C-alpha cells in the first residue's frame, strides 16, 4: 500500500506539518496539488485503491520537482459508470453521489482559500470525477477571482501519439482503458507488490452498444471488471508513462503559474 508515513519525500505532504508550520507555508502562497482518486474495482489483478494510489504518486513526483505541496488525496470518487469503471455492481467499489463529491471538494478548496492558498492543481486519476471537477473549478473561481486552478486528468497529459504507441492493437479509448494496459503498467512500475500474477491479467475488451440503458445490467461488461486487455502491460511501459506525465505536468504548471 502507499506508505505515506514512511514515504521518502514526506516534506511535500502538507498534512505532516504542525499548524504553526502550516500557517507559515500558507503565507508564502505556494502551489498546492490535490490528487483525486476513487475506491473502485480494478479487475482481478489490481487493488481497489488503484486510482488514489496513482494520483498520490504522480502528485508527489511533481511536487518534488517544483518545490510545492500535496494536499491529502480525495480517496473516494464519483460513482463508477458501467463503461468506464464497470459500474457500482462489483463488490468493493465505494463511491460518492455527485452532490456529495461536489460539496466536499468545494468545502476543502474554500478552507484552503481561507488559509491563504490561491494556486491549485487538481490532479485527477478517476475517469468519472472529471466533469464534477470542472464544476468545482468554475464555482471556486467565480467566488474567488484571485485564485487560479489547473485541472488535469493524468491520461490527457502525455502526447496522444505516444500513448497510442503502447498498444499492440487498436487503442480502446481512455473510458474503456479501465484496469487495462496503461493502469496495469503504471501499477507494475509504481507498486509492483500490489499487482497480481500475470495469469490474472484480463484479455477481454468491453463492447459498449452506443447507448445507455437503465437500470444498468452488469452482464454487459466483462466479468473480470477490467474493460480492456492488460496482458501486454509491463513495468517499462509504466515507467515511460509515469515520466511523461510528470515531465509534461511540470511544464504545464510552470507555463500557467510561472517559474
Specify whether the CB–CB gap between 182 and 166 falls below 8 A.
yes
**Residue 120 CB-half CA count within 13 A:** 31
pLDDT at 75 over 80: yes
In-domain check, residue 227: no
Enumerate the β-bridge partners of residue 32: 69, 120
Residue 95: DSSP 8-state: E
In percent, how much of the chain has pLDDT > 90?
87
- Work out the end-to-end distance of the chain between its first and last CA atoms, rounded to an integer number of angstroms: 33
In percent, how much of the chain has pLDDT > 70?
97
CA distance 118 to 156: 24
Which DSSP string corresponds to 37-73?
Answer: --B--BTBTB-TTHHHHHHHHHHHHHHHHHT-EEPPP
Please write the tens of the pLDDT for every residue from 170-185.
Answer: 899 999 999 999 999 9
pTM, to two decimals: 0.95
pLDDT at 1 over 50: no
Task: Report the candidate in 106, 118, 131, 2 with the shortest Cα–Cα distance to residue 54.
Answer: 2
In-domain check, residue 174: no
In-domain check, residue 191: no
Specify whether the CB–CB gap between 89 and 218 falls below 8 A.
yes
Specify whether the CB–CB gap between 140 and 106 falls below 8 A.
yes
In-domain check, residue 188: no
Domain that holds residue 26: 10-167+245-257
pLDDT at 4 over 80: no
> What is the predicted pLDDT for the residue at 2?
55
Count of domains in the chain?
A: 1
In-domain check, residue 64: yes
**Residue 133 CB-half CA count within 13 A:** 23
CATH code for the domain in which residue 127 is found: 3.40.50.10310
pLDDT at 6 over 80: no
In-domain check, residue 3: no
Task: Report the candidate in 134, 169, 139, 164 with the shortest Cα–Cα distance to residue 151.
Answer: 134
In-domain check, residue 192: no
In-domain check, residue 186: no
Please write the tens of the pLDDT for every residue from 39-68.
Answer: 999 999 999 999 999 999 999 999 999 999
In the predicted model, what is the mean pLDDT of residues 251-259?
A: 92
Amino acid at each position: 500500500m502507499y506508505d505515506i508515513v514512511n514515504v521518502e519525500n514526506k516534506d511535500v505532504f502538507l498534512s505532516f506539518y504542525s499548524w504553526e508550520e502550516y500557517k507559515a507555508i500558507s503565507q508564502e502562497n505556494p502551489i498546492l496539488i490535490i490528487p483525486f482518486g476513487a475506491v473502485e474495482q480494478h479487475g482481478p489483478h489490481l487493488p481497489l485503491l488503484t486510482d488514489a494510489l496513482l494520483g498520490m504518486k504522480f502528485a508527489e513526483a511533481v511536487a518534488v520537482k517544483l518545490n510545492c505541496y500535496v494536499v491529502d488525496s480525495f480517496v473516494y470518487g464519483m460513482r463508477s459508470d458501467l463503461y468506464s469503471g464497470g459500474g457500482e455492481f462489483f463488490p468493493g467499489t465505494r463511491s460518492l453521489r455527485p452532490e456529495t463529491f461536489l460539496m466536499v471538494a468545494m468545502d476543502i478548496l474554500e478552507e484552503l482559500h481561507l488559509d491563504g492558498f490561491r494556486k491549485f492543481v487538481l490532479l485527477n486519476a478517476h475517469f468519472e470525477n472529471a466533469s464534477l471537477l470542472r464544476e468545482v473549478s468554475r464555482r471556486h473561481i467565480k467566488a474567488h477571482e484571485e485564485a487560479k486552478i489547473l485541472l488535469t486528468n493524468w491520461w490527457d497529459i502525455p502526447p496522444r501519439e505516444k500513448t497510442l504507441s503502447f498498444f499492440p492493437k487498436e487503442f480502446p479509448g481512455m473510458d474503456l482503458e479501465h484496469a487495462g494496459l496503461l493502469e496495469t503498467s503504471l501499477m507494475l512500475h509504481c507498486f509492483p507488490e500490489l499487482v497480481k500474477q500475470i495469469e490474472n491479467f484480463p484479455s477481454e475488451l468491453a463492447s459498449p452498444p452506443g447507448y445507455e440503458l437503465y437500470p444498468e445490467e452488469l452482464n454487459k461488461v466483462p466479468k473480470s471488471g477490467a474493460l480492456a486487455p492488460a496482458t501486454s502491460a509491463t513495468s517499462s511501459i509504466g515507467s515511460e508513462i509515469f515520466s511523461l506525465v510528470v515531465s509534461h505536468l511540470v511544464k504545464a504548471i510552470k507555463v500557467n503559474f510561472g517559474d
